[in-house]
Structure 1
Amino acid sequence: MGMKSNSKKMMMLLLAAIMVFSLAACSGGNNNTKNESANNTPENTPSSTETVTPPSADEPGWKSDTAPITFDWYLNFAWFPNKWGVDPTSQYVTKKTGVDINFIVPAGNENEKLNTLIASGKLPDFITLGWWEDGVKKMIEGDLVLPLNKLAEEYDPYFFKVSDSDKLNWYTQEDGNVYGYPNSSSSPKDYEQFGDTYVSNQTFVVRKDIYEAIGSPDMRTPEGFLNALKAAKEKFPQIDGQPMIPLGLHEFTATGNDSLEQYIQNFLAIPREKDGKLYNRETDPEYVRWLKTLRQANQDGLLAKDIFIDKRAQMEEKIVQGRYFAMLYQRTDFGAQLGTLYQKDPDKIYIAVDGPANTNLDAPTLNGPGISGWTVTLISKDVKDKARAIKFLSYLNSEEGQRDLFLGEKGVSYDTIDGVDQFLPEVFDLMNTDRAAFDKQYGSSFTFWMMQNTNITQQWAPKAVEPYKQLEDWTIGKTVSNSEFDLIDPLANSDEGIILGKIKDLRGKTLPKLLMASSEAEFDKIFNDYIKKQEELGLDKVMAFQQTKYEENKKKLGM
């Protein structure tokens, strides 16, 4: 139930989706008042208040109509396994609001399915997809989705009260309208309030028992890193009769490798900009030094062939077998496997340790939640009931909706225990041992994450438990907001987008070659060719486009 990492940008979002295994995003902090007062700004109030009994900005609109209605809701995530109405939480929401949901999830390639829907010109009532997807712009430009602000003004001004004005402003298009609202979104203002509790998904982990057996070495320097991989392989050549894999990475895709791009660049604290100009992190000497370290690891027989071909499903199998010694990997992507390992033997689990660092041994700058969030949800022009759709979206955005989808129904998945609303012990236990079973049996803790707002729900979030807590805690204080670098890429079919597509394809082909180079001289040749080819393809045009967007973002965020 984790998330596919098939896009370079995906990490930023996934960071925000820290609730997938229901481990508390953060602890403490009370976010009740923020959404009530700060966001009811004058420009957000409906203009015509003279009409006959106008909808109220103070009263939840959904209460005015709870007749049964079923909405079709498209989720652009083939891995999403749950159905609405199977579990008590979704049943409770339907009983309360009258809204039933029929999820439509692609069976195979998400983009093919989404493009087919867009080409047909007819969309399901609600659409949820990653904010970085081209489909967002295609739907807006093709007039296939409705402005949420207009729907709210006409049918449910309460929407403005329960939505964050910073997030509405961030997603306002050139025509002055907002078509999508994000989940798991944290603005720079949210950082001021909750920043010291934010966690990242980006971790460097080692198998605890093996790491301790080789003397818990420091792996921050190239030498320490190579020596540790070597010692681990020598001491544990096999795991349960199968070859040990010294280092695990995210999968190599047609466009690159998450671990070898943002992850390692963030671990090395490589800046994204210098003096207000976007910086090409790939050319940084610290980055090149570590790619050369991995080339050396391969030459020394410390990179298994598996890592160049395995997809996420194969990795999950090998993680459950404990076959990796170290991994530069997204912790929520192996949460379920980690839980299984912990049940078997709490000593043979993966723990986060300080990984690759720059020459100064600076702390990493890991992706924290950003203002773009993880997904955006839009309402189709073909929606079967405009009023009910925006009212339901407001309900989901409100503290009440957040509470219902996070805690579930009182007495079923949570209760007031010791004066605190919290999950029942047996519910929390199932959540941490078998998430798939939990989703079907209870359906709370954001089984349905389309509009999750962890800044609101952290007041009820249980403290993380082991083995997840150690990984989460390791990232606290190392996360940074990268909101201003979101949404800067050109559309895929634009001139700059076509260039960027070619550069990404080139990167996808080059990264494995660099690691497999037979000597440092061969590495240098491949790398210099790569940088030169990028320039020939028109990298400067892409950078100029991104620079403009980056400067617009800074203005939007008041930086």
Structure 2
Amino acid sequence: MKKSKIILSGLIIAGATLTLAACGSSNSSSKSATSNVKLPSLDGRYKPSDSTPAWKLDTKKNKTLTWYVNADWWNKSFGKDVVTKQIKKDLNIDIKFVTGDNTKLNTMFASGKLPDIISTWDMTTQVSKTANKWALPLNQLATTYDPYWNKVASEDTMNWFKLSDGNTYGYPDYSNTEADYKSGAIKPQEAVVIREDVYKALGEPKMDTPEDFVKVMKQIKEKYPNLTALGFGAMTNPDANALDSTVQNLLGVPYYKDGKIYDRDMDKDYLTWLKALRQVHQDGGISDDSFTATDDKYKQNIQTGKYAAIILGSAINYGNPLQTWDSAHKDSAYVAVDAITSTEGRKPVLNQSGISGWMINYITKDSKDPATAMQVFTYLQSKYGNMVANYGVEGETYNMKNGQAILTEATRKAQQTDPGKFATDYRLGEFIQFGHDKYKALSPDAYQDSVKTVFDWGKNYLTPEFPTENTTPDVNTPEARNLTTLQTQWLNTLVSAVRAPSDQKFDELISTYKTFRKNNGYEGVVKVQNEKVQDNLKKLGMDKNASTPTK
């Protein structure tokens, strides 16, 4: 998922053995926690066991927790759908969800009053880096309240998130190790998709070279004037929009080379394709509205088939609108095709979530009942909890057959024909805080049919990028501020370049941006990033001169 960002099994970094027992130093795996926290007594509620999860042993009834999720889009409902009804029943719990953004999160910390659980993003933020000041260590919570946690949590992930005091405070969803990439469980999310009726009407043309792509987009504009020839997602994130990272990934632009951050934005192959997209825009194949469209508008255009083709950066996140269109227009379903391919012979490097995962979950020092909070963590991290979150209740919404979870006829019908009702009444696959791709792999029904074309197309191009995880400069440093400035300027340059009236103007814009970088701390940013890459390569036991495999 991506939310990110998501962003993995066909191509594995040569020589990379992900053994994070040494997270930062050769002796950190044996390093004991240097700070111990006094935790409330269980007062005889149950006797912790390493063979039975604590939620099955606890005698306390009517438990309550408050859980803050740093995402306005999170569904705050609890106990009304299949998934959360079962969680509520199993844990004898009622959870009050509170949502917000970074401003609300900062206000909450400033107030000094924290909820029981906090879910936020990015382990490089000050919130995550200072978790020892406001959160409880999971390793000590497990020892005191629920040793079964150690059976369900990944040791690699626990070590990756360990702070300098030897404790681990946060645990993410979708934390993928090298073994997960090799397993085939992780699904690609990036591709160029096109409406099948349009594709066939044009004779299934080649779209893999810049010249052919421009030609096809022009044909679409002429033959289907009521359609937008090429669509892409909302350009609101300077570091993760379709014309930026997705196009680069499709072209196999490396993330790092010879142990150093690679200058992806100035890659020759990438700039060649940006010029092709500039021509598509000039020919009327890209609407100016696309540059300012909201995510809701993008979804609306997908589910109404407004786009003839889409540079799709996160198939799973847009499964519902894709399925809405595909279900009602089976002959016009979106299909993934070979398009926007490297002029230099590189294979795509489709990235998915790495070991850092996406959403990170913490139990705060203000928790009224840390034992119950730990039980929630263990429950959701376990296979049973993940089966509930992904498939609901066995015998009611799914059945196991030959080791696979098969949705019942009624459940699958809702999934494929009424995505809105499916999300409201079932909520399968949406309770993601401790989700993992390996559980999605247990069912052919885990995803909407509409996104499987992307999975099939990209399955051989997944490439982990562990060495470049968390390499942004630390917050409140000059380099962090410079990076924000550079990213914002790049987004402005990117939009202007694609909308440029000529190739000459395109070249001028890129040249101006290069000068802007030079004058705004680019070299300092890269220096910090390279230092962090080297730290990661050391953690991963990889060659310090390793590169993204692109051929």
TM class, shorter-length? 0.7 to 0.9
1:179 corresponds, among 169, 172, 177, to 169
Which amino acid in structure 2 is aligned with residue 74 of structure 1?
Y
Deviation at 1:535, TM superposition (A): 1.7
2:78 corresponds, among 71, 84, 91, to 84
Are the equivalent residues in 2 in contact too, given 1:170–1:557 (CA < 8 A)? no
Matches within 5 A, 1:257-336: 258-329=241-312, 330-336=314-320
User: For 1:346-389, what per-residue CA distance to the aligned partner results, in whole angstroms no more than 9, with x for missing partners?
Assistant: 11221111121111343311113311112111111111112221
Are the equivalent residues in 1 in contact too, given 2:324–2:419 (CA < 8 A)? no
1:58 aligns with 2:48: no
In structure 1, what is the equivalent of residue 178 of structure 2? 188
CA RMSD of aligned residues (A): 2.8
Distance 1:104 1:411, change over 3 A: same
Distance 1:113 1:43, change over 3 A: same
Distance 1:465 1:395, change over 3 A: closer
Deviation at 1:118, TM superposition (A): 2.1
1:535 aligns with 2:518: yes
1:359 aligns with 2:347: no
2:159 corresponds, among 169, 173, 188, to 169
Are the equivalent residues in 2 in contact too, given 1:45–1:160 (CA < 8 A)? no
Deviation at 1:82, TM superposition (A): 4.8
Which amino acid in structure 1 is aligned with residue 218 of structure 2?
K
In structure 1, what is the equivalent of residue 449 of structure 2? 466
Deviation at 1:89, TM superposition (A): 3.0
Are the equivalent residues in 2 in contact too, given 1:200–1:369 (CA < 8 A)? no
Equivalent position SS for 2:162: coil
Which amino acid in structure 2 is aligned with residue 380 of structure 1?
T
Q: Residues of 1 paired with 2:412 and 2:128: CA distance?
A: 39
Q: Residues of 2 paired with 1:400 and 1:553: CA distance?
A: 33
Which amino acid in structure 2 is aligned with residue 544 of structure 1?
K
Distance 1:345 1:382, change over 3 A: same
In structure 2, what is the equivalent of residue 140 of structure 1? 131
1:483 aligns with 2:444: no
Matches within 5 A, 1:116-135: 116-131=107-122, 134=125
1:204 aligns with 2:197: no
Are the equivalent residues in 2 in contact too, given 1:422–1:462 (CA < 8 A)? yes
In structure 2, what is the equivalent of residue 159 of structure 1? 149
Are the equivalent residues in 2 in contact too, given 1:294–1:515 (CA < 8 A)? yes
Q: Residues of 1 paired with 2:257 and 2:97: CA distance?
A: 44
Distance 1:247 1:97, change over 3 A: same
Deviation at 1:160, TM superposition (A): 1.5
Query: How many pairs does the alignment contain?
Result: 515
Which amino acid in structure 2 is aligned with residue 185 of structure 1?
S
In structure 1, what is the equivalent of residue 16 of structure 2? none
Q: Normalising by structure 2, what TM-score? A: 0.87
Equivalent position SS for 1:449: coil
Q: Residues of 1 paired with 2:207 and 2:344: CA distance?
A: 14
- 462-471 vs 204-213, which deviates more? 462-471
In structure 2, what is the equivalent of residue 15 of structure 1? 7
User: For 1:40-82, what per-residue CA distance to the aligned partner results, in whole angstroms no more than 9, with x for missing partners?
Assistant: x99599999xx99973323312223142211111112212235
Are the equivalent residues in 2 in contact too, given 1:211–1:232 (CA < 8 A)? no
Are the equivalent residues in 1 in contact too, given 2:116–2:370 (CA < 8 A)? no
User: For 1:528-558, what per-residue CA distance to the aligned partner results, in whole angstroms no more than 9, with x for missing partners?
Assistant: 1101211211111111111111111122223
Which amino acid in structure 2 is aligned with residue 483 of structure 1?
F
- 540-549 vs 296-305, which deviates more? 296-305
Which amino acid in structure 1 is aligned with residue 110 of structure 2?
A
Are the equivalent residues in 1 in contact too, given 2:175–2:355 (CA < 8 A)? yes
Equivalent position SS for 1:490: coil
Q: Residues of 1 paired with 2:328 and 2:424: CA distance?
A: 24
Equivalent position SS for 1:506: helix
Query: Which sections of structure 2, spanning at least 5 residues, go unmatched?
Result: 11-27, 543-551
Q: Residues of 2 paired with 1:298 and 1:280: CA distance?
A: 25
Query: Which sections of structure 1, spanning at least 5 residues, go unmatched?
Result: 17-24, 27-40, 239-243
Are the equivalent residues in 1 in contact too, given 2:123–2:360 (CA < 8 A)? no
1:103 aligns with 2:97: yes
Are the equivalent residues in 2 in contact too, given 1:118–1:139 (CA < 8 A)? no
Are the equivalent residues in 2 in contact too, given 1:169–1:556 (CA < 8 A)? no
Which amino acid in structure 1 is aligned with residue 411 of structure 2?
V
1:250 aligns with 2:233: yes
Distance 1:217 1:535, change over 3 A: same
- 529-538 vs 410-419, which deviates more? 410-419
1:389 aligns with 2:373: yes
User: For 1:89-108, what per-residue CA distance to the aligned partner results, in whole angstroms no more than 9, with x for missing partners?
Assistant: 322222222222111122xx
Equivalent position SS for 1:489: coil
Q: Residues of 2 paired with 1:442 and 1:327: CA distance?
A: 29
1:428 corresponds, among 412, 415, 418, to 412
Are the equivalent residues in 2 in contact too, given 1:207–1:325 (CA < 8 A)? yes
In structure 1, what is the equivalent of residue 422 of structure 2? 438
Q: Residues of 1 paired with 2:53 and 2:33: CA distance?
A: 15
Distance 1:279 1:408, change over 3 A: same
Q: Residues of 1 paired with 2:29 and 2:160: CA distance?
A: 17
Distance 1:125 1:203, change over 3 A: same
Distance 1:535 1:43, change over 3 A: same
Q: Normalising by structure 1, what TM-score? A: 0.85
Q: Residues of 1 paired with 2:377 and 2:198: CA distance?
A: 49
Which amino acid in structure 1 is aligned with residue 224 of structure 2?
F
1:112 aligns with 2:103: yes
Q: Residues of 2 paired with 1:153 and 1:311: CA distance?
A: 46
Equivalent position SS for 1:347: helix
2:219 corresponds, among 224, 231, 249, to 231
1:506 corresponds, among 485, 489, 498, to 489
Are the equivalent residues in 2 in contact too, given 1:364–1:478 (CA < 8 A)? yes
Are the equivalent residues in 2 in contact too, given 1:251–1:257 (CA < 8 A)? no
Distance 1:540 1:405, change over 3 A: same
User: For 1:133-174, what per-residue CA distance to the aligned partner results, in whole angstroms no more than 9, with x for missing partners?
Assistant: 736436526x12122112222222221221110011111122
Equivalent position SS for 1:175: coil
